[in-house]
Structures are given as C-alpha cells and as structure tokens.
Amino acid sequence: MQPRRLTLSSAGTYYASPDWLQAPFSLSYSFNVPTGSTISATINYTIDDVNDPTFPPQWKPDPTNGGTLTASCVGTYSTPVRFIEIIVTAVTGAAYFDYLQGFSAP
C-alpha cells in the first residue's frame, strides 16, 4: 500500500480523510519540507463528521506536533480520527503531507 500525499503549495486549508473504521486503527504521517522550501502550517484532527451540517466539527491540535510547524516532522494516531486538517498560512515552494494506514487481513 502506498502512502497518500497532499501537496501543500499555497496558503489554505487541506484535508486528509483516513479510514476511521479500520480496526485496529493505526496511522502514521510525515510532514515534509524539502530543502529550499519554507512553510508555516498547523495540523489538527477531529473525530466529528465534517460533512454533518447540524454538528460543527471540533478541531483539536495534533497531539504530537501541535502548534505552528516550520520544519519536517512525523507523527502517529493510534485512536480513530475522521479527518486531519492542515492549515497553511505561508509557503514558498511546496511541502508534502504523506499518511499511511496499516490494515488487518480478513
């Protein structure tokens, strides 16, 4: 299985939607800022359904890399999350958010 990749090339909000029904849940991510690129970004997560207009999602700071990121880092989730939000406030060049989930064979 290949990791999923989000290319972060402009200011804005990007979303990753892992398979939150996976059991056991396991997700690893890599936030990559290549040489020559700069970025200012924040990673949040929610267990809420962002597509449900009757219940606004409650975004929480990433437990491993909460706060403003300016360099490459890695993180994991061992409890289910429905969506990951990457808020990019400034970027020069491009950065990448890759994530990979494990799976259980039937």
- 63-97 residue pLDDT tens: 989 889 999 999 999 999 999 999 999 999 999 99
Tell me the domain boundaries of the chain.
12-101
Residue type, 13: T
- 21-38 residue pLDDT tens: 988 899 999 999 999 999
Read out DSSP for 17-78?
---TT-SS--EEEEEE--TT-EEEEEEEEESS-TT-TTS----EE-TTT-SEE-S-EEEEE-
Q: Of 104 and 97, which is predicted with more confidence? A: 97
